Every structure is written in C-alpha cells, then in structure tokens.
Amino acid sequence: MHFEVEAFIHRPPEDVFDFFSDLHQQPRRKGSVVPVYDKITPGPVGVGTRFREVIRLLPFLKGEVISEITGYDPPHSLDYSFVAFGKMDGELTYRLEPVGEGVRVSQRQTLRPRGTLLRLLGPLIGTAFSRAIDHRLKGIKKLLEGGTSP
C-alpha cells in the first residue's frame, strides 16, 4: 500500500524540519493518533536513530512501531524504515520544498502487510491508515502555524 499526503506550512523549512526531526520531544496531545513517541537510541538525531511509537488507527486497533532514520538531509528530507505491529514493514519519507514564505511538506509512505490475515484486512487497514496520516499532518500544520493540534 502506498500513501501520499501534502500540506503547505507557513513556516521556514528549517523550523519544519527541526520539528519533524524532534517529534520525540513534542508533547503528546489527548486523542493523538500517536500517543507515545520515544527515541530509543542515544545521541543526536541522524541516520541510525531509532524510535518507538504507539499508534492508534481505530479505537480497537493500536500497536507498536519501531522506526529508524535511513536518510537525513536538513532541511530537505527525512527517510525512515519501520516495522509496525510486528506484522508490517515499510518506508516513510518527508520532503520539504520551500515555496514563498513557507514549505510544502510531502509525506510518502509505503506499508507492506505480512501474513494472510493482514493482507485480507488490507483495504480496512489502508483506509484507517490513510485517514490517520492525513489527520496527523494537518494537526502538525496547525500546531506549527500557531494553532492547536486537533
């Protein structure tokens, strides 16, 4: 499954990149689709840094994601590989393109379910996942532009 969402954020690319590379230090908001986001490797963020997330896709579907930064090019791009719920793997890329007085953020994500059951549930998982990442990026946009996250 492949997903792509975009948002225009009225902030300099450096500010937006710093936010994305520092997500583990951002406060978790009640109702967030990512209530837990922990950095699990020591040292500064860069290639090789690993994170642990708890993601809530639906009220009854929550699980752990372990990700690792595989590409780090401030303030232009961040690349991750991840294993989700122990049953899916994939890649996540953030691309930041300066436009006027802001930045266009493109989030591209690939998710590969493993096992027969997850492949059968693929359409449901894909719909939930697509909504969750769109909601999350819109929330980040709102937060960075001085509003509150949904």
Q: Which tens digit of pLDDT belongs to each residue from 27-73?
A: 666 666 667 888 999 999 999 999 998 877 667 777 888 999 999 99
**What domains can you pick out in the chain, each with its CATH number?**
2-144 (3.30.530.20)
Residue 42 is encoded by which pair of tokens? Answer: 């020591």
Separation of alpha carbons 72 and 143, rounded Å: 23
User: What is the DSSP track for 80-137?
Assistant: EEEEETTTEEEEEEEEEEEETTEEEEEEEEEEEE-SHHHHHTHHHHHHHHHHHHHHHH
17 band by pLDDT with thresholds 50, 70 and 90: very high
Q: Which tens digit of pLDDT belongs to each residue from 80-103?
A: 999 987 788 999 999 999 999 899
108 pLDDT higher than 80: yes
CA distance readout (Å), 115 to 9, 61, 121, 122: 38, 17, 10, 11
Q: Which helix (H) or strand (E) holds 141?
A: helix 122-144
Separation of alpha carbons 113 and 51, rounded Å: 20
pTM: 0.80
